[in-house]
Structure 1
Amino acid sequence: MLRVAITGPESTGKTTLSRQLAAHYHTTWAPEYARAYLEEKGPSYTLPDLEEIARGQLREEEQAAAEAQAQGHAVFFCDTDLLVIKVWAEHAFGHCPDWILQRIGQQLYDLALLLNVDLPWEPDPLREHPHLRQHFFQVYQQALVDQKANFSIISGALDQRFEQARQLVDELLGR
């Protein structure tokens, strides 16, 4: 089964695209665990919180993978990935826990879709850095290059993003 990660800075449409792709391919998607965690605990967080969020994200991915496999699907989607936790931890705390870095090296995706920052910023109490979106985009891009990940940059309006992503996933599926 193929894993596709939707990654990138805040307010770039990751959740919207994850939902659209899962609906289009009639499969599952792993929601961003951080959102549920922070909605319950509040917007302040510590490094141990980020570690719990990372564990929760892994659980969400494994649950989505198991459901997709049980239903006989060829692909499923992940709304964010541990790379998001790495970038977040390094920015907020100056480092990322080693076990997360190790899991990033092990948690390979068949395709990563890096969402560009060309959508307007949408305020949200859980979003932090509207002025650093381009910086973070470059950090994500470099990390994916360093990982030698199979990734593509997705840009444009929401409908254009969906069409670009759909074409890439169709290629991945051999359609």
Structure 2
Amino acid sequence: MIKKVVVIGPESTGKSTLCEQLAGYYSTAWVPEYAREYLLKNGTNYTYDDLLIIAQGQVTLEEKHISSFDPGHEKHAALFVDTDLYVMKVWSEYVFGKCHPWILDQIAERQYHLYLLCDTDLPWVKDELREYPDLESRRELYYIYKDILVNQSVPWANISGNYEQRLQKAVKAVDEMLKQ
């Protein structure tokens, strides 16, 4: 059985880096964030409807990785996912004040085994796709994610510190999840 680990949090908190590090550490695969690909191709002037397209693309990309996952060749049966539909919900509500029902339905249907919430204690890294460089907005978003995780049933761990400390905290949480 594939155990899916989602890495979430505000932008520029090391989510993609952590997914890549964990996939390397566990000799397994990771699912990149579809939004980056979409926005690089279509531009950053997105609409509410674009967020539904991005959410559907994220699910499609995740399903593609799941279907090509070969437990016989993977060291561990873990798949690391860079963002999920909670991220789409937060993004949609934060920017547009509403969320498409399809995204909410998918949140209820999709199953994950662990969430890793990346804290805002890494320095901001400028990127043409990032929108909220100020720490105040990033902290506000962090607490929105934390509130979501506290109020759902899947185990989660807060990931903070420098890149090495983050990896060590994530490995500890993943190892605990894999034992179950």
TM-score bracket, shorter-length normalisation: over 0.9
Q: 1:143 aligns with which of 125, 145, 148?
A: 148
Render the CA deviation track for 1:108-165: whole Å, top value 9, x for unaligned.
2100000000000111110001220000000000011222331110000011101110
Distance, in Å, in 2 between the alignment partners of 1:85 and 1:71 is 32
Give the gaps of 5 or more residues in structure 2: none
| Distance apart, 1:60 and its partner CA | 1.2
Aligned to 1:42: 43
Distance, in Å, in 1 between the alignment partners of 2:157 and 2:143 is 13
Aligned to 1:22: 23
Report the CA distance shift for 1:40/1:71 in structure 2 as closer, same or farther (over 3 A). farther
| Distance apart, 1:67 and its partner CA | 2.2
Taking structure 2 as the reference length, what is the TM-score of the superposition?
0.93
Q: 2:172 aligns with which of 152, 158, 167?
A: 167
Residues 1-175 of structure 1: matches in 2 within 5 Å?
1-69=2-70, 71=72, 73=74, 74-131=77-134, 132-174=137-179
Distance, in Å, in 2 between the alignment partners of 1:26 and 1:67 is 15
Q: Which amino acid aligns with 2:13?
A: T
Q: Which moved more, 1:54-63 or 1:71-80?
A: 71-80
3-state SS in 2 of match to 1:78? strand
Q: Is the 8 A contact 1:30 1:61 kept in 2?
A: yes
Q: CA RMSD in A?
A: 1.3
Which of structure 1's runs of 4+ aligned residues deviate more than 3 A? 69-73
Give the gaps of 5 or more residues in structure 1: none
| Distance apart, 1:44 and its partner CA | 1.0
Distance, in Å, in 1 between the alignment partners of 2:65 and 2:5 is 12
Taking structure 1 as the reference length, what is the TM-score of the superposition?
0.95
Distance, in Å, in 2 between the alignment partners of 1:79 and 1:154 is 14
Distance, in Å, in 1 between the alignment partners of 2:15 and 2:133 is 16
